[in-house]
A and B are shown apart, each in its own frame.
Chain A
Amino acid sequence: MAVLVTKDSNVIVQGITGKEGSFHAEQMIEYGTNVVGGVTPGKGGQTHLDRPVFNTVAEAVQQAGADVSVIFVPPPFAADAIMEAAAAGIKVIICITEGIPVQDMVKVRSYINDYDTRLIGPNCPGVITPGQAKCGIMPGFIHTPGKIGIVSRSGTLTYEAVDQVTKAGMGQSTCIGVGGDPIIGTTTKDAVELLMNDPDTEGIIMIGEIGGTMEADAARYIKEHGTKPVVGFIAGQTAPKGRTMGHAGAIVGGHEDTAEAKMKIMEECGIHVVKSPADIGSTMVKALN
């Protein structure tokens, strides 16, 4: 039954009438995602992509039964959009927006603690359960339904892993892009835990990068509770200290958040760590046999 998003999810797009939101909402609908509407304050009552537009997320919840929201709102308004979705009762909030100020996210993280909701992102490609629902900006066609769950902080590197998995003859249960920012709603460990408890997932690919302790936390969880093979890769083995590598969160601060240190901890925790990102798919095949 996969995790987070399925064919039964009632998905809305916050920022559906904007350029990005509109483009990707259309792609999501084309993929077969059950998009039940969108939200753009001030444009309530209109129709966009044959879907109703609401003024507030609360209306979308009441009138269209929305339970998943994908956010394409520009950075200055994105934190507000996340909090609105949480307050309205959305269960899974997926925020694609890149460039939200850190202090806004400090407040958001604290605010949503009081609600029964899960935030994915921000600064992420989204979540896809192949064959059921695509909630994000990933290219749908590279995915195929299957048993491998993927967790990643990156966009195109996730597509790379998906592609390798598909070409190796396996498919994906759910792929979760947790996001590249310093503060995100769902950590690598949280996402791994979801997939570990998902009966449809038989193996997990965990893709991390330099900066922070998320991969080490996930590795310790896997050591303790892991029941499925996990293949891991950390991007940024050659990244210099103290420089931000594209993602706001990808920066080596101390000696514990380097790729090398993370890979060592992951290996010690029983994860099949690959040094080359070209070996992700083939290593998963071996790990499953």
Chain B
Amino acid sequence: MNLHEYQGKSILTKYGVPIQNGYAADTVEEAMTKYDQLAKETGSPFAVVKAQIHAGGRGKGGGVKLAKNREEAKTHISNILGMQLKTPQTPGGMEGEGKQVNKILVAEDAYAPDFDANKEYYVSILMDRERKQNVIIHSTQGGMDIEAVAEETPDLVHKTYIDPELGMQGFNAREVAFNLGLEGTAFKNMTKFISKLYQAYLAADASLIEINPCLHTGDDRIIAVDCKFSVDDNALYRHKDIAEMRDTTEEDATEVEAQSYGLNFVNLDGNVGCMVNGAGLAMATMDIIKLSGGEPANFLDVGGTADAARVEQAFRIILRDDNVEAILINIFGGIVRCDRVAQGVVDAYKNIGDIKVPIIVRLQGTNADIAKDLIDNSGLNVRSAISLQDAAQEVQAVLA
């Protein structure tokens, strides 16, 4: 689960990680109140207005603006709140439709007073799948696209691995600070920053914390200016407070709905819908659709209990997509009996009534033959298949 910048920063604050301070708001009035409060606290009229959406590169689309006074702050706040923000990471990129901004963060200008005295670093923590350890990735090349830095100047990207059983040790934090070329007060502050950041990472079951830029101020403080924060979905059961931070408006509405029915669904752009039990088989079924001349309209894993109610919900969700020209149902019955699923398909079909797109049902495994008879004798516009090859040919025939 992804968090907004302001939410991630609230977790960082809880663990003592210094951040660029600020307040989140949903309306212009609220934002202005926050601006006034912030100006009072910092003693400066300067503030940064930051769009809160789940995508990076917000500055490129005009979603991050520096205000030098109250009037400018009001202008930026009014412009950014409600705008369709396009960034390289929003759907369709800079040419796409962007994402609506429903929340903004009014934050202090952490670069003041002497802009040129600041340095920007890159720091992130994540789990390295190959090493099976958490790793702190860091670089002096902050404020930039780290993938580009890694490509062009790989020796400027450093990695510090943390022992899974011992946790972060003093020398790990010092290694990071040395790699960033720090000394004196900044060195000490960076080692504290890294230790606390790692604490927050573990405590929140984060899958990623990325601080870019991580600011080294003229007076040697180390501050998280931006914060990308993702949490392991499997661990949310032990973080009720973080689970409540979920912003479903950032997700695909259909996917959110599917999830509430226990369906694992990902919306795609193709013309053939599919309904499958098991994630691996679902991906393989999408591949079959492509090889048969179609494009998958979705990924859908109905899970281990593909009963009539779930099949019906799945049908309804797939059918909502006007681009769908055919639906391929692919169930490998193990513990799930195919005849039950077939009955579910027939019942769902009758309940929904008018289904215009052809449906190909491929049921294999436990009671597959009984299931095929059930489908074939149902009198519905459903084609049945037993082998995966047959199913592929049926898809091809339907699209032809």
Contacts and interface: CB of A to CB of B under 8 A. Distances in A.
**Do A and B truly interact?**
yes
Interface of A: 27, 75-76, 99-107, 109-111, 137-139, 141-142, 152-160, 163-164, 180, 182-183, 207, 209-210, 212-213, 233, 235-240, 243, 245-250, 259, 275-279
Nearest to A183: B132
B114 interface: no
Nearest to A277: B284
Nearest to B368: A163
A245 B282 contact: yes
A271 B299 CA distance: 28
A248 B280 CA distance: 11
Interface in B255-288: 264, 266, 268, 270, 276-284, 286-288
7 contacts: A139-B334, A139-B365, A156-B280, A163-B365, A212-B130, A238-B268, A238-B270
Given A154-B281, A277-B288, A102 B334 contact: no
B280 A247 contact: yes
B388 A278 contact: yes
Given A154-B281, A238-B286, A238-B290, A248 B333 contact: no
A275 B284 CA distance: 10
Given A245-B299, A277-B288, A277-B388, A159 B332 contact: yes
B241 to A, nearest CB: 16
Question: SS class of chain B's interface: helix, strand, loop or mixed?
Answer: mixed
B387 interface: yes
B234 A101 contact: yes
A107 B284 CA distance: 32
A100 B233 CA distance: 10
B335 A152 contact: no
A109 B164 contact: yes
A99 B234 contact: yes
Contacts of B289: 238
A159 B289 CA distance: 19
Interface in B141-169: 163-165
B171 interface: no
B185 to A, nearest CB: 32
A275 B334 CA distance: 25
A276 B130 contact: no
A160 B286 CA distance: 15
B266 A160 contact: no
Given A245-B299, A246-B264, A180 B365 contact: no
Given A102-B235, A107-B165, A156-B334, A246 B301 contact: yes
A235 B232 CA distance: 23
